[in-house]
A and B are shown apart, each in its own frame.
Chain A
Amino acid sequence: MKKYIVTGLVILLPLALTLAILIFFFNLLTEPFVGVVRAVFDYLGLFTNGFLFISAGQLQTFIAQLIILVILFFFTVLLGLIARWFFFHSLLSLGDKLIHTIPIVKSIYKVCQDIIKTIFTSNTNSFKQVVLIPFPHKDVYSVGLVTRVGMPGLEGTAHGNAVAVFVPTTPNPTSGFLMMYQPEDLIYLDMTVEDAFKYVISCGVIPPVFKQKEPKP
């Protein structure tokens, strides 16, 4: 009996977990717009009858979510496409300037824009280099990501060429610790960020190969 349940779980659990994670992100992306699209459906009288054993409300929500996802995807692609044309580029920078004049919105917008730009567009090493870091004390190692090389304010002190390292908590890597270490204390690893996150999210159940590499100059 127990044997059968374990085997059944081994087969079904990965599938269920994968679906749960994907549906979570699906809902997160579509949630702000579902109400609007459903109102449009109601106005046009679309999908007001249930389908087989699914009620009208559920069917409407699901179709609305699908449509929103498709629209979001094409909107992103379209925006990226037209931003490369000169006319739209100046239009977009005008919008940028407009947002920068709104009191409270402007400070939040500026921070978000700077972070996204640093991570996505520039070719710095933010969140690209995986290291082993002697945290919390000398003989113990944690996995961290180098987020910044060079601390302008620390030049001339003992921490002259410190690098910023982010050490995520387990299994939810959206929180963690930000620390500054000397590069010679760190062990630079030849590992992808994806593998490092897999190691952290699985609580260490999926161990990668910790292979040292020379630090980038």
Chain B
Amino acid sequence: MKKYFSTGLAILAPIALTLIVVMIFVNILTKPFVGIVNTLLTPFFGSPEVILIISKILILIFLFCLVLLTGVIAHRLAIEYFVHIGDNIFHRIPLFNKVYKATKEVVNTVLSPGSATFKQVVLVPFPTPTGLSIGFVTSDKASMDVPKLPHEYISVFVPCAPNPIFGYLLLFRKDQVLYVEMTVEQALKSVVSCGSILTPFSVRKPL
């Protein structure tokens, strides 16, 4: 009995957890628009539950198409001109411009193809010189102008386990860190599982 129950649990629990995580993201993405789409759909369908599900699916499809369409237009047409005009307008709105400038900088750095941001996994001496923690290089080169620190420094994000959206931001000397052959996904898996899952890795020389 117990054996069967745990086998069943081992099959069902991953599915349930995956669904929960996916639903959280779906809800975050669709929440701002659900109200509007609901009102639009009310004349066509009966029960509110059906309307809610259909409107969520519609919103997801719409958002995906919007992102794709913007990308296609940006590549095919000279949309840079229009984006530039839009940026100029956004930069003039008070309060809005401060947040917009910062988020734009972050998104551009993270998504630009050549960037090393959140791509390199390292082992860093944290919290003591002999202890090691998993971290992600967030900026490859900190521009230091401090006479006491003549070496090259890098910014490393050390996430908390098991919830990696929270952590420490530290500056390490380049020769202090161990560069590790590991994808960001594997490193995150190890952090989220509190270290119980660890892909075999090899340490390599710094770039």
Contact = CB atoms under 8 A, between A and B. Distances in A.
**Is the contact region of chain A dominated by helix, strand, or loop, or is it mixed?**
mixed
A205 B66 CA distance: 27
Interface stretch (A47-55, A77-85, A101-109): A47-55
B16 interface: no
Interface string A140-173: 1111000000000000000000000000011110
Contacts, number: 177
B contact residues, range: 35 or more
A58 B143 CA distance: 49
A170 B165 CA distance: 8
Contact of B109 (A15, A142, A205): A205
A201 B38 CA distance: 35
A210 B144 contact: yes
B153 A141 contact: yes
B94 to A, nearest CB: 11
B107 interface: yes
B146 A170 contact: no
Interface string B95-134: 1100110111111111111000110000011111100000
Interface string A186-212: 010000000000111111111111111
A132 B146 contact: yes
A203 B138 contact: yes
Contacts of A210: 142-146, 153, 171
Interface in A13-30: 13-15, 17-18, 21-23
Contact of A136 (B128, B143, B167): B128
Nearest to A210: B144
Contacts of A6: 71, 111, 113
A143 B128 contact: no
Contacts of B109: 205-206
Given A187-B146, A207-B143, A5 B67 contact: yes
Contacts of B90: 15, 18
Nearest to B137: A204
A209 B146 CA distance: 10
Given A53-B39, A142-B168, A207-B139, A137 B71 contact: no
B51 to A, nearest CB: 13
Contact of A18 (B68, B100, B156, B169): B100
Contacts of B105: 202, 205-206
A22 B106 CA distance: 17
Contact of A204 (B83, B111, B155): B155
A5 B71 contact: yes
B143 A139 contact: no
Interface in B48-80: 66-72, 74-75
A206 B138 CA distance: 9
A10 B108 contact: yes
Given A4-B71, A9-B67, A10-B108, A143 B169 contact: yes
Nearest to B82: A11
B148 interface: yes
B138 A58 contact: no
Contacts of A5: 67-68, 71
A140 B171 contact: yes
Contacts of B156: 204
Residue in B36, B39, B113 whose Cβ sees the most chain A Cβ within 10 Å: B39
A3 interface: yes
A8 interface: yes
Contacts of A111: none
Given A8-B67, A137-B128, A170-B167, 8 more contacts: A5-B67, A12-B66, A58-B35, A137-B127, A169-B168, A203-B167, A204-B157, A205-B117
